[in-house]
Structure formats: structure tokens, C-alpha cells
Amino acid sequence: MDENDVKKLWIHCNRCYKQYVHHKETSGSRFFLLACQDIACDKCVEAAPGRSPSDAPIYICPICRCKVRGRQINNAMPYHLKSLFHPEPWLDELRNEAIAGFQRKHMNRFLKYCQEKEKEVQKVDSDMTLALTACQKLYLELEQARQIRRQLENRAQQIKQQIKNNSHIRKYLYLIKWSRYSKESSARRTC
């Protein structure tokens, strides 16, 4: 972006806030200065049909809904309209309150829009931080849950082992009992 473009940053569609310097003719967008002093891009302004095809088009301003004449913003504009876009209206020979007022109005409008966008970005940013914190909390909880699960698995393993050991003992006890019983019964038989 050259220095000249920087001085035109304030020129924007008053409805969709598309900027002239980023979307001028090369990218296919056209911008119109309407007689109500609003600026609109070709996507946002409607042309109302004139009484005859040769009539200069009348536009319906998307901002104030006036039916007005308009001129495309380009080098072919008549001087009195082109001067509204002069990059340095404060130069002595051009000092003109109307031009400065026009540019100030549009600049303030655009700055206000930028501030609103900035606020939206900050909101998204803080939402992201909140979401991240929530994720970290969930992650920690998940880690704790995993540890608990591991402990429970170990405990279950120990219990299983104990049951297995117990069944050895039970079998052993049973065998002892059985052998005693068989000894006693054989002793009874021999009597």
C-alpha cells in the first residue's frame, strides 16, 4: 500500500464497510458517492430505473433510503466531487470546511466500526481463554479419573489374586478334611 492509498483508507461503503483502497476497480468493486453524501459499493446500492434509458441513473441510498443521483468514485469524477476525496484537504489553498467535514464524518464512522470490530475480537479472545481454561480443567479431571481407574484396576487384580490364593487354601483345607475323613472311615471299617 503506497502513501496515497493510506490517505484513502477512510473511503468505505457506509453499509458493508468494504474499503475503497482494498476493493477499487482492480478487484471488480465500484464505489458510488451519492448526492446525500453517503458512499456505497455496487453490492449495496440499487439503481432505480430512470424515466428513460438515457437518464442518468438514480440510486436508492442503502443508508438513508433517499432516491438520489450518484457518481462512481474514480478519476473521471467532476472536480467539485473529486475534491471531496482530496488526500490533503487541510492544505491551505484547499482548506475547505465542507471537504474536511465530509472526510471527518466518514473517518469517524469507519473508526467507530473498527472499534466495534476490535471489541468483537476481544470478546472472541476472552471466550477462547475461557474455553481453554475449561479444557485444561477437564484434562486434569480426566487425568485424575485415569489415575483412580489404574488404582482400582490394581486393587481388583489384588482381590482376584487373593480369591485365587483363598481357593488354593480352601482346596487344601478340603483335601486335609477329606484325607482325615477317609482315614477315619477306613479305621472304622477295619474295626
Chain residues binding Zn ion by CB under 5 A are: 13, 15-16, 18, 36, 38, 41, 43-44, 61, 63-64
| Closer residue to Zn ion, CB minimum distance, 22 or 177 | 22
Closer of 16 and 128 to Zn ion (Cβ):
16
Pick the closer one to Zn ion by CB: 27 or 52.
Answer: 27
Q: What is the amino acid identity at position 91?
A: L
CA distances 8 to 5, 78, 84, 106, 122, Å, are: 5, 18, 11, 11, 27
The residue written with cell numbers 448526492 in the block is 35
- Beta carbon nearer to Zn ion, 65 or 180: 65
Minimum CB separation of residue 68 from Zn ion in Å reads 7
To Zn ion, the closest distance from the beta carbon of 72 in angstroms equals: 14
Strand, coil or helix: what is 35? coil
Taking the complex as a whole, how short is the minimal distance between the CB of residue 96 and Zn ion, in angstroms? 21
Q: Which CB, 16 or 156, lies closer to Zn ion?
A: 16
Q: Which is it for strands 31-34 and 67-72: parallel, antiparallel or unpaired?
A: antiparallel
**What radius of gyration do the chain's Cα atoms show?**
43
* CA-CA-CA-CA dihedral for 73, 77, 78, 79, to nearest 10: 70
Count the Cβ atoms, other than its own, within 10 Å of residue 46.
Answer: 13
- The distance of closest approach from Cβ of residue 110 to Zn ion in the complex, given in angstroms and rounded to an integer, is 13
Report which secondary-structure segment, H or E, holds 34. Answer: strand 31-34
Query: Closest distance between Zn ion and the C-beta of residue 84, in Å?
Result: 14
Nearer to Zn ion, 33 or 44 (CB): 44
Cβ(89)–Cβ(96) under 8 Å? yes
Task: Name the minimum Å distance from CB 9 to Zn ion.
Answer: 16
